[in-house]
Amino acid sequence: MKVQAYLAFNGNCQEALNFYGELFNADVKNKETYEDKKIDVPSSYRSKLQHAELKGKGVHFMAYDAAPDTPINNGNQIHMSVDLNDKDEAEDVFNNLAESGITHHTFREREWGYFGRCTDKYGINWMVNCNS
69 vs 11 pLDDT, higher one:
11
How far apart (Å, rounded) are the C-alpha atoms in residues 49 and 67? 10
As beta bridge partners, residue 110 has 113
Number of domains in the chain: 2
- Look at residue 32 and tell me if it is in a domain: yes
Q: Per-residue pLDDT tens for 3-45? A: 789 999 989 999 999 999 999 999 999 999 989 888 888 888 8
* CATH number where 37 lies: 3.10.180.10
For residues 46 and 97, membership in a common domain is answered with: no
Count other Cβ atoms within 10 Å, centred on residue 97.
28
**61 lies in the same domain as 88:** no
Q: Which domain holds residue 58?
A: 6-65
Residues 61 and 102 placed together within one structural domain of the fold: no
Residue 35: CB atoms within 10 A of its CB come to: 12
H/E stretch holding 126 reads: strand 125-130
Would you say residue 49 lies in a domain?
yes
Looking at the structure, tell me whether residues 61 and 10 fall in a common domain.
yes
pLDDT at residue 96, as a whole number: 97
pLDDT of 1 reads 63
Q: What's the pTM?
A: 0.81
In this structure, is residue 70 part of a structural domain? Answer: no
In a shared domain, residues 94 and 57: no
**Residues 20 and 60 occupy one common structural domain:** yes
